[in-house]
Structure 1
């Protein structure tokens, strides 16, 4: 099994409805937030019948995690109905709560549809492979092709992050959603800094994700090109918000994402 698929394959924990998410490593490095997003979704889904697919997840980051340690996820079965289910999930390391999340599932239902981005702005094959836009997080980048284009042509900062996994992925819709939750978190807070000419890479500010949400609309294919197009509508009081659309290769919007993050000025050293 690939490093990515092994990382996202949670296994039963010490008690009922608890699950263990493998460490990403290396020791001493801060955990990648997308790991908590993906493993939370995977753990919640283990307690829901397979006919119900993820519709939304809202996760709050309470503490920074240790990349070298496993994570225990505790799932609370809040609601199970005929067509929908709801779960609460907390993650812990060393008995300390790292994240708290709510996750909803539903069987697909008929109804009106809209949401298409036409035409797609680039051919991702024509773009150079860039990788993440900040210091390399603890994620298997050799298995994920990431290509980033930033656009200021309209006066607004827009980030277009193309991605696909380069490993065989089983034809399991849930797994593709889990991978999307994992990849879409990579330095998503950066557009809030870029609006002001700063960046995650420059480390000019204290920054980090505090809250992340994703709404799933259509099936995601992680082994095909996907476009995550993001922008930051507002920032104040040391926090910034980013909104975005995850668009499949067919031009249809597969998911909507939103994130809040810390973008506070670093404290200046006091003069002695």
Structure 2
């Protein structure tokens, strides 16, 4: 099993709704937020009938996690209806709560359908393999091809993060959504600083995600090119908001994302 799939392969902790997620490593480093996003989605899905697919996920980061430690998850079965289900997921390490999430699932139903781009901004195959916008020691980057383009041509800062998984991935729709939740968190709050010429890498500001949300519209294909295009519409009081679209290789918008994060100046 690849390092990425092993990280996202949550295991039963002995109880019906108790689960354990693998440590991402290395020890002594802060855990990657995408790990909590992906593992929370995975454990919630383990308690829902497979025909119901994830539609919405909201996660609040309460404190930083330890990359070298496994994560314990507790799932609350909030609601089960004929076509929809809702779950609440709480993660903890060493007895301390780290994140809390709500996840909704639903059966696919017929209805209006829109959200497709007629053209894409560039061909990712022609771009250099940049990796994430900064260090990401917890991510198995040899298994994820990341290519980043920062664009100010319109006067607005737009980050385009192209990504795909380069190891074999089982064709299970849920797993591909879980991988998307994992990858899309990487430096996603950074554009709120980049608007002002700063970055998370420079460490001129205290920065980190506080809330993250995903709305899934269509299937994600993690082993094909995906474009995460993000921009920051507003920032104030030491917080910034990022909104983004996850677009598949065929131009279909697979998911809409939003994050709030801390971007406060460091005390002199």
TM-score, with structure 2 as normaliser: 0.99
Q: Could you list the structure 1 runs, at least 4 aligned residues long, displaced by more than 3 angstroms after superposition.
A: none
Counterpart mapping for 1:228-239 below 5 A? 228-239=228-239
Matched positions, count = 268
Aligned position for 1:254: 254
**Structure 2 counterpart SS, 1:141:** coil
**Structure 1 counterpart SS, 2:44:** helix
* Alignment partners' CA distance in 2, 1:41 and 1:118: 31
**Structure 1 counterpart SS, 2:128:** coil
**Structure 2 counterpart SS, 1:139:** coil
* Alignment partners' CA distance in 2, 1:6 and 1:242: 29
The answer as to whether partners of 2:143 and 2:167 remain within 8 angstroms in 1 is yes
1:153 deviates by 0.4
* Alignment partners' CA distance in 2, 1:14 and 1:175: 22
Residues 65-98 of structure 1: CA distance to partner in whole angstroms, max 9, x if unpaired?
0000000010000000000000000000011000
* Alignment partners' CA distance in 2, 1:33 and 1:215: 17
Aligned position for 1:192: 192
* Alignment partners' CA distance in 2, 1:117 and 1:73: 38
Residues 196-242 of structure 1: CA distance to partner in whole angstroms, max 9, x if unpaired?
00011111100000000000000000000000000000000000000
* Alignment partners' CA distance in 1, 2:242 and 2:187: 11
After alignment, is 182-191 or 114-123 more displaced?
A: 114-123
- Which runs of 5 or more structure 2 residues have no equivalent in the other structure? none
Cα RMSD of the aligned pairs, angstroms, is 0.6
**Structure 2 counterpart SS, 1:4:** helix
1:15 deviates by 2.5
**Structure 2 counterpart SS, 1:142:** coil
Asked if 1:106 corresponds to 2:106, the answer is yes
Counterpart mapping for 1:258-269 below 5 A? 258-268=258-268
Aligned position for 1:91: 91
Residues 86-142 of structure 1: CA distance to partner in whole angstroms, max 9, x if unpaired?
000000001100000000000100000110122100000000000010222411001
Aligned position for 2:215: 215
* Alignment partners' CA distance in 2, 1:77 and 1:122: 43
* Alignment partners' CA distance in 2, 1:258 and 1:58: 9
* Alignment partners' CA distance in 1, 2:147 and 2:135: 15
Asked if 1:56 corresponds to 2:56, the answer is yes
TM-score, with structure 1 as normaliser: 0.98
1:62 deviates by 0.2
Aligned position for 2:117: 117
Aligned position for 1:147: 147
* Alignment partners' CA distance in 2, 1:38 and 1:136: 16
1:16 deviates by 2.4
* Alignment partners' CA distance in 1, 2:110 and 2:52: 14
Counterpart mapping for 1:18-37 below 5 A? 18-37=18-37
* Alignment partners' CA distance in 1, 2:225 and 2:136: 21
Aligned position for 1:70: 70
